[in-house]
Structure 1
Amino acid sequence: MAKKPGRGSASGASPRKKSPSKPPLARRILRGVLIWGTALALLGAIFLGTAVFFTMRELPGMTSLKSSQNGQMIVVRANDGSELVSLGPSYGKWLSYDQIPKVMKDAIVSTEDRRFRDHIGVDPVALARIFKVRVERGHFREGASTITQQLARNIFLNNARTFGRKGREMILALAMERKFSKDQILELYLNKVYFGGGAYGIDAASRKFFGHPATELSTGEAAIIAGLVKAPSHYSPTADVEASIGRGKVVLGLMAETGAISQAEANSIDLSEIEMAVDAGQNSVRYFTDWALPQLDMLLPETSEPIEVWTTLDPKMQEAATKAVDANAPEGAQGALVSLDRDGGVLAMVGGTDYVTSNYNRATSAVRQPGSAWKLFVYMAALEAGYTPDDKVVDEAVTIDGWSPQNANRKYSGEIDVRTAFAYSKNTIAAKLGSEVGFGTVASMARRFGISTPVSTNPSMVLGTSEVRVIDMTQAFAAVSAGGTSVEPFGIRKVTTTSGEVLYEHKSVQGKMLVPPYVAAGITDLLQTTVATGTGRAAQIGRPVAGKTGTTSSNKDGWFLGFSSGITTGVWMGRDDAKRVAGLSGGHAPARAFHDYMAVAVKGRPVEQFETELKLPEWQLEPDDEYLQGDPDEYYYVDEYGNVVYPDTRGPGANGDEPLYEDGSGVGDPAYGPGPAPAYAPAPAPQGPAAATDDFLNRATGRQPNGPPPVNVTRGQGSPRPMRTPPPPAPAAPGQVPY
């Protein structure tokens, strides 16, 4: 019986060959990654090597880098051309590597790059460390820039935090390490790095902060300078001595860690005993330069060349202003002064009693309550509404919406004239006048005269409860001195290159008339009486002076503002924490400071008499817009429906004389009252709201919702003169007082 061939039988078809097994997928992926990674790394190395090679060829030499400078020098000159201060970069003597003290080199290497001698310009160990921290903590805790990278950034790049800039920085650092030795790189770094206060290089920093060359640096001084690199403005000894000492102690600790000094030596150095140099430039002039120089960004195109800034400051007046504030400011109080020429040029500016102790400019930045100095706007609003200095008013107890103002002496004088009420700063009369003309009208007057801070329309605002700046109040009084014409403060007359090319020159602009001449004359009459016989008698200087005192509750603020012979000066005194200053009042220390300064400021100027003749317009010529703006077409008023109306903008109507509202509609518009709608097309008119809101009317008239009507002031000398309706304030942004 024949056997069936089995699978293993040799008979039949030939046996199949086994195919070779493929490598596992993971192994194939790993091989591909290694091949492509090696190729990409090789290409990257070729690209990096090529970039470094060509960058190295383009780098300037050591001699060229030593002569290059960073930053822009600015020479600030006074009105007479004398130099006030030189700002910007300051370069000391270039020190070779061998001339630089070893402690200075050790301090900077220990602080900024302790592996400086070991890396190739970029430190991979430091890079690995910061990325490890990034993974562990979720954010970068420190940088990894080497000294070479910092040098490359300071010389060739900016401080933008971008990967592109960082990449260029690394290539430059690698190229610099190929071109220069470690000693040359450290020499360049220590002579060019910025240490704050305008000082570039260790010699400039040593001279600025310690008053001697860098070749004489002690270990403690070197530690303080090395600590400045991290944050020059924060750790600068001229800005914060305690911060610079604290940072210096950190540097001493790092030097001990790296073995540059022993721990015992680090512990024995008392940085608080190091004598700091006094910077002669840090005086009151810096208050002015800190205010004026930032304006260059708006006045000039971008430029890095050295420039000279010719300012309005008068050196003798500035010195007198500084002495006047220092001599009269009460103990523990600060003082500020601004003085303007008739064209608005700042003649003197003092922002505090000591710039070195505090560079906060209280003349331009601080906002404080002006007290009775604010009555300038109350009485101008009353004069514009029809009052004269000789009109009779009654000094008596008064209550307005639950508010009962008191006079300083808690007494009442009965019937007096407006001039006397202003001269003796009667609070009750100011409250009555403010209520009658409207608190919104007073606020609008303040806005007109340059008050830029928020203004309240509560009844107590007439006594100066809204905070203001010294420079704004001085600007307002300068406008009064100019006959009611606006004055704009400025500090820079022209800017030139060092070769004399004019880059900018201030152009005088005709001021805008803010009030009719008779209002300016009337308020000048009142201001002159205040100094002659009223609360400002301490400000007398032997020639006509017009001014006003101001004192806030609990003697927290004292003011005097006034003008004479074309110079307007404002003085404020008080504490920065707004606490009470015993005995402080506007008629004492501030008025005396005004006197001391103005006695010097007006010397050599001709005596000028004030124009106080009222020259009132004929009442039948109302509206009196030709006195205010000179253009009858600009006159407007509020009708019985609360709408702002331009009566001289006419539509054809039945008789061709129907007035139009701001939106061009006529009196017949159903939205504004009874009567048929106009049949004519509205004429173009100024843009604005269709009607004044209840809130607008309450502010403009001084009324409160559902409250009593304004207090009427008793007037003597026969029947009262009919009051003229002043122009209402223009619409303002929500929450702001109309201007």
Structure 2
Amino acid sequence: MRRLPRFLVYGLATVLSLALVGAVALAGLYLYLSPQLPSVEQLRDVRYQEPLRIYSGDGELMAEFGENMREPLRFDEIPDRVWQAFVAAEDERFFEHPGVDYQGLARAVLYLVQNREIGPGGSTITMQVARNFFLSREQTYMRKLNEILLAFKIERELDKEQILELYLNKIYLGQRAYGIGAASQIYYGKPPEELELAETAMLAGLPKAPSLWNPVANPERALQRRAYVLRRMHESGVISAEEFADASTQPDTAHVRRVRPTVEAPYVAEMAREHVVDMVGAEAAYTGGYRVHTTIDSRYQEIANRSLRRNLLAYDRRHGYRGPEGTLDLDDLAGEDDWDDALRGVRTLGGLRPGIVIAIGPRAADDGLDPEAVEEADQDADAADDEDIVATVYMGGGDTVALDLEAMEWARPWVSQEAVGASPEHVSDVVSVGDVVRVEALGGGSFRLAQVPDVEGSIVSLAPRSGALLALSGGFDFRKSQFNRATQAVRQPGSAFKPFIYSAALEAGYTPASIINDAPVVFHDEALESTWRPENYTGRFYGPTRMREALAQSRNLVSIRVLRDVGTGTTRDFLDQFGFPRDRMPDDLSLALGSAGVTPWELTAGYAVFANGGYRVMPYFVSRVEDGDGNVIQAAQPSLACEQCGEAAHEAGVLEDASVDESSDVNGDVLLAPTYRPAERIISAENAYLTTSMLQDVITAGTGRSAQRLGRSDLAGKTGSTNDLQDAWFAGYNGDVVTTAWIGFDQGRSMGRGETGARAALPIWTDFMEMALIGAPEHTLRRPGGLVTVRIDPESGLVTDSSNPNAIFETFRSDQVPDRDPDAERNGAGGGSDDDDAPLF
């Protein structure tokens, strides 16, 4: 046999030796690095970074918190066409290689030799999974080697579908979108199963360079990348020639579509966010995919927002126009583009859009924005009749509205909180060209000049039997101020606090017919550090007055005498049961006039006791919190106001049988059976009934009479106003809903003459309750046993009979029925039958 030339033998030996050394080196390197590689087992129980989501009680999205937008999907939820597009674009040999594509790797090595730097190529989908879950993005040899070794491990322990699922849920696709689920929503506003072929190809082109080929930021380059993906799909046989041709000609409709809440409840959402952060910490809260289900009723919330804003704006209009938010020199602005730039930093607040007055002149059929036409309109303004003159307001994006004199007739100039100037006679009396103003849409294509109110307010609504929060707004607009006046503003409630004083009096032996003298009084109270001469709001004195009438008419002097007789110490002990902070309850007679410090949330919870028959329920707003896997990690255990909780709970749908479904509904609240708790009774049913009866008189014959427009007989409540009219309140309820409205300035200044609870706050309450109770049957407290109704003389408060022409009916505890009026006996008025004198139940 012919021997090989010596140089070939040496050459072959050298190659084999180098190969052996290389293999040993690689084996050694693997043995060295392998123990340091992370466990692929982590991928079987992966936790994606998902935002915190807040929902209403009826499942509507209220808010999202977190930087990364992600909607994880199982592989069987991802359409074939979607994953095929990504495979075609990113790794055509994905189903053939063992985690590393040697052909692609060879190309990457060639690039390294030629350019002496790490370049593109060679990275498979499996390698991207290894990098995205376990490694950094730094371009080093060691990182690349770890990536390769991890890819082999991943391929050994996971199948191809599992790897694709991880990849398609983790990959960054621009615009804060991680994964195909989020990207399809953000770019096209639809789930992956509804994507068109062209849209799918556009998204599949993003992983390599999400910013460079982004259809929003770089639409031309994005279309080039889409064409590449479609071509690869066609060449690999995934799509037909017809599909390729059709998709290639489709225009792209991508734009950023952030997930918009369907319920506007930012103050409640912030409360829920803080709740979860307190539970799990900030980092976990914003990335753990937690879901908070609140008790908010989306319909009630919408009504609350609208009622509060409408009446804050109504108050603001009563006190005049403070002028434009700014003034621009239109000579320095070239036209629409510059106007858009000027408006870009001015937010819409409370539905009031900002705009620029670009012309004042005759109403025209065509509101074109030709600068020459604008100038001519200004020149013609003086020549037209006043009713034909309009202010043309540019609203951005090429839109304009025309405001005539009627749209700004309210805009008398603000002089002080007590005074406004003369009504405008011309449009030019109110606005000028260049003014930055607000516009309110009234519906039906009509608009009105507006301004963001300085005054603020809040509204809180609870379910009185369980304390579930139904609706809450802590201000005119969360973007204007994040201070939550419903839960954080400690204000004086004024006369809205009197029901608690009178309830304490009932507990101490008073009756609704007790006579108290409404007369001048001077107190030398050391706690008040001065001589105190309290007065009624009217400045008048009314003499002997029944307690029922005194509450209905909000008589201050009667309330003071009642508190003095019962005692401030006894009354403060009584108030403790309602949950009012004792350190904010003054230990002096000013307590009778509402000098305590309470939040609207606290006051609403207090009124719930009267509404539910005497039980203290704990207000709550979170029904349950779920983790990223949908497991309930916290569930509400609300207290339930009922005489016999077992029977009442069954009637309401909360069964004590532990085998029932885990969630049940009570007044709109989610409870986990059988974890409801009986509420604590803190006042007797008789006390709650009599207090409610007196508060109904506030609406039928007292300071809350304007609520009669609702046409319901089951409403009870109380107005409240404080010194210098700094605060205005109305708190009221029926058997299903208890609601408190407050209005005032954050700085604690006067709202102006006549701005009492009846004028400023009650309209918020009535607007809300009118809509909230549409279609709801009347629901009043059931009259408890132990009460009797008899005729009394309204002057003396004593029992009389039907022959007394002034007699009225009053209700008492059976052991507190007053004596018969001796004057009625002497005047022969006692000739009625026994039936006439019998209690009426």
- TM-score computed with the length of structure 1 as normaliser: 0.52
In the other structure, the counterpart of 1:316 is: 299
What is the 5 A alignment of 1:354-503?
A: 354-400=477-523, 401=525, 402-452=531-581, 454-496=584-626, 501-503=631-633
Gaps of 5+ in 1: 1-48, 100-118, 121-151, 158-168, 182-187, 220-274, 618-714, 720-739
Q: What's the offset of the Cα at 1:510? A: 1.1
Quick one: distance in 2 between partners of 1:390 and 1:568?
Answer: 26
What is the 5 A alignment of 1:650-669?
A: none
**Residues 284/585 of structure 1: CA separation in 2 closer, same or farther (3 Å cut):** farther
Q: What's the offset of the Cα at 1:217? A: 7.2
Q: What's the offset of the Cα at 1:473? A: 0.4
**Residues 315/594 of structure 1: CA separation in 2 closer, same or farther (3 Å cut):** same
Quick one: distance in 2 between partners of 1:551 and 1:398?
Answer: 21
Give the match's secondary structure for 2:461.
Answer: strand
In the other structure, the counterpart of 2:702 is: 534
Give the match's secondary structure for 1:295.
Answer: helix
Partner residue of 1:76 out of 54, 73, 79: 54
Quick one: distance in 1 between partners of 2:517 and 2:258?
Answer: 59
Q: What's the offset of the Cα at 1:299? A: 7.5
Partner residue of 2:723 out of 553, 559, 572: 553
Q: Which amino acid aligns with 1:476?
A: G
Asked if 2 retains the 8 angstrom alpha-carbon contact of 1:325 and 1:353, the reply is yes
Give the match's secondary structure for 1:587.
Answer: helix
Deviates more, 1:429-438 or 1:76-85: 76-85
Quick one: distance in 1 between partners of 2:141 and 2:260?
Answer: 42
Partner residue of 1:336 out of 458, 465, 471: 458
**Residues 155/527 of structure 1: CA separation in 2 closer, same or farther (3 Å cut):** farther
Quick one: distance in 2 between partners of 1:574 and 1:501?
Answer: 43
Asked if 2 retains the 8 angstrom alpha-carbon contact of 1:519 and 1:614, the reply is no
Quick one: distance in 1 between partners of 2:37 and 2:494?
Answer: 70
Aligned residues: 452
In the other structure, the counterpart of 2:743 is: 573
What is the 5 A alignment of 1:19-30?
A: none
Q: What's the offset of the Cα at 1:616? A: 6.0
Quick one: distance in 1 between partners of 2:173 and 2:568?
Answer: 55
What is the 5 A alignment of 1:7-46?
A: none
Give the match's secondary structure for 2:615.
Answer: coil
Which string of whole-angstrom CA distances, capped at 9 and with x for unpartnered residues, describes residues 656-708 of structure 1? Answer: xxxxxxxxxxxxxxxxxxxxxxxxxxxxxxxxxxxxxxxxxxxxxxxxxxxxx
Is 1:290–2:305 an aligned residue pair? no
Q: Which amino acid aligns with 2:69?
A: S
Q: What's the % identity of the aligned pairs?
A: 29
Quick one: distance in 1 between partners of 2:758 and 2:31?
Answer: 74
Give the match's secondary structure for 2:681.
Answer: coil
Q: Which amino acid aligns with 2:744?
A: G
Give the match's secondary structure for 1:561.
Answer: strand
Q: What's the offset of the Cα at 1:315? A: 0.9
**Residues 372/200 of structure 1: CA separation in 2 closer, same or farther (3 Å cut):** farther
Q: Which amino acid aligns with 2:56?
A: A
What is the 5 A alignment of 1:170-209?
A: 176=143
Q: What's the offset of the Cα at 1:292? A: 3.3
In the other structure, the counterpart of 2:761 is: 590
Q: Which amino acid aligns with 2:468?
A: G
Quick one: distance in 2 between partners of 1:53 and 1:546?
Answer: 76
Asked if 2 retains the 8 angstrom alpha-carbon contact of 1:565 and 1:602, the reply is no
Give the match's secondary structure for 1:359.
Answer: coil
Q: Which amino acid aligns with 2:727?
A: D
In the other structure, the counterpart of 1:509 is: 677
Give the match's secondary structure for 2:731.
Answer: strand
Asked if 2 retains the 8 angstrom alpha-carbon contact of 1:282 and 1:355, the reply is no
In the other structure, the counterpart of 2:687 is: 519
Give the match's secondary structure for 2:699.
Answer: helix
Quick one: distance in 1 between partners of 2:498 and 2:132?
Answer: 55
Quick one: distance in 2 between partners of 1:427 and 1:328?
Answer: 27
Asked if 2 retains the 8 angstrom alpha-carbon contact of 1:564 and 1:602, the reply is no
Asked if 2 retains the 8 angstrom alpha-carbon contact of 1:574 and 1:581, the reply is yes
Q: Which amino acid aligns with 2:763?
A: R
CA RMSD of aligned residues (A): 5.1
Quick one: distance in 1 between partners of 2:474 and 2:735?
Answer: 24
**Residues 414/371 of structure 1: CA separation in 2 closer, same or farther (3 Å cut):** same
Asked if 2 retains the 8 angstrom alpha-carbon contact of 1:53 and 1:175, the reply is no
**Residues 606/68 of structure 1: CA separation in 2 closer, same or farther (3 Å cut):** same
In the other structure, the counterpart of 2:69 is: 90
Quick one: distance in 1 between partners of 2:625 and 2:678?
Answer: 22
Quick one: distance in 2 between partners of 1:585 and 1:52?
Answer: 80
Q: Which amino acid aligns with 1:555?
A: L
Quick one: distance in 2 between partners of 1:464 and 1:534?
Answer: 18
Quick one: distance in 2 between partners of 1:614 and 1:410?
Answer: 40
**Residues 57/566 of structure 1: CA separation in 2 closer, same or farther (3 Å cut):** closer
Give the match's secondary structure for 2:616.
Answer: coil
In the other structure, the counterpart of 1:165 is: none
**Residues 300/395 of structure 1: CA separation in 2 closer, same or farther (3 Å cut):** same
In the other structure, the counterpart of 1:653 is: none
Q: Which amino acid aligns with 1:338?
A: V
